[in-house]
């Protein structure tokens, strides 16, 4: 091997070493951020667990709607007025693929023998703290998670009004940005692109957007919110299973 070939080989090996080192440092930083995020989410989950369990025990003090606080307020309100117990659940998932996991909190419940999931709120981690992105606010509003950081808000008022808003969490984002809203009210179709003005639409266009996003819905893997889950998140792990594996 001549000197020129040797120099080229040394240069290539040096570049590979640099790339490898950067990758390791990036992964370490990402792992550290993930733990910090999950530890911040622990405080929210701890309060949620305390509130919902007080409902189960019959010790929750309810005076008026202002007393119910937090993104789980509708879960508590529904539990107070229902014979069915709402089981608190959560999921820690990176919904926009930026290395920072989001917290999704909700509940599972049965109605007429059918099991349902409910998303009560979504948080992200920014500026060293948990930042609330959405607040589920009633049985007329359904929240779903989609690929690429899209969150759907379904709006239903009887058979005559249905609407869907789709908002996006950008990578490293701190808040949601509107993508599109489609609406059908008493047979009249409208749409809003981003933050623009309401425009006239058609049934065909409404169904086109609805079917497009229906294909991108993400199934949530829920964890039951209990003492084991709180132990895991307090130590920076997304689930008790992950926490046990680290031991």
What pLDDT does 79 receive? 61
Characterise 141 by phi-psi region: left (phi > 0), alpha (psi -120 to 50), beta (else).
beta
Alpha helices in the chain (DSSP H): 3-57, 73-80, 203-214, 227-234, 240-245
Q: What is the pLDDT of residues 99-132, one digit of tens each?
A: 999 999 888 887 788 888 888 889 999 999 999 8
Q: What is the pLDDT of residues 174-210, one digit of tens each?
A: 999 999 999 999 999 999 999 899 999 999 999 999 9
Residue 34 phi, psi (nearest 5): -60, -45
Structure tokens of 58?
């019959």
Q: What is the pTM of this model?
A: 0.80
Q: Which residue has the tokens 């997304």?
A: 238
Domain boundaries defined on the chain: 3-146+218-245
Average pLDDT, 10 consecutive residues per value, the chain (247 residues)? 55 46 40 92 90 69 50 62 73 94 89 83 92 70 92 85 94 93 95 95 97 96 94 94 89
From the list 175, 74, 93, the residue with the least C-alpha distance to 132 is: 175
Structure tokens of 48?
């949620």
What pLDDT does 165 receive? 95
From the list 45, 5, 1, 32, the residue with the least C-alpha distance to 240 is: 45
Q: What 3-state class would DSSP assign to 64?
A: coil
What pLDDT does 241 receive? 92
Q: Which residues contact 149 (CB under 8 A, 6 or more apart)?
A: 95, 96, 97, 168, 169, 170, 171, 173
């Amino acid at each position: 091997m001549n000197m020129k070939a040797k120099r080229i080989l040394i240069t290539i090996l040096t570049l590979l070493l640099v790339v490898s080192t950067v990758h390791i440092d990036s992964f370490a930083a990402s792992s550290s951020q993930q733990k910090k995020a999950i530890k911040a989410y622990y405080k929210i989950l701890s309060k949620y667990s305390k509130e919902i369990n007080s409902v189960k025990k019959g010790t929750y003090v309810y005076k008026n709607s202002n007393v119910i606080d937090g993104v789980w307020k509708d879960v508590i309100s529904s539990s107070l007025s229902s014979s069915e117990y709402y089981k608190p659940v959560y999921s820690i998932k990176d919904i926009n693929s930026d290395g920072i996991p989001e917290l999704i909190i909700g509940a599972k419940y049965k109605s007429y023998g059918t099991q349902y999931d409910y998303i009560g709120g979504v948080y992200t981690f920014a500026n060293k703290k948990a930042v609330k992105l959405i607040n589920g606010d009633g049985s007329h509003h359904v929240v779903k998670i989609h690929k690429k950081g899209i969150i759907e808000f379904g709006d239903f008022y009887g058979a005559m009004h249905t609407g869907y808003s789709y908002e996006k969490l950008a990578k490293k984002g701190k808040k949601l940005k509107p993508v599109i809203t489609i609406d059908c009210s008493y047979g009249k179709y409208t749409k809003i692109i981003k933050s623009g003005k309401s425009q006239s639409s058609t049934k065909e266009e409404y169904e086109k957007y609805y079917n497009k996003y229906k294909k991108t819905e993400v199934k949530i893997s829920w964890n039951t919110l209990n003492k084991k889950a709180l132990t895991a998140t307090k130590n920076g792990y997304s689930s008790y299973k992950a926490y046990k594996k680290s031991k």
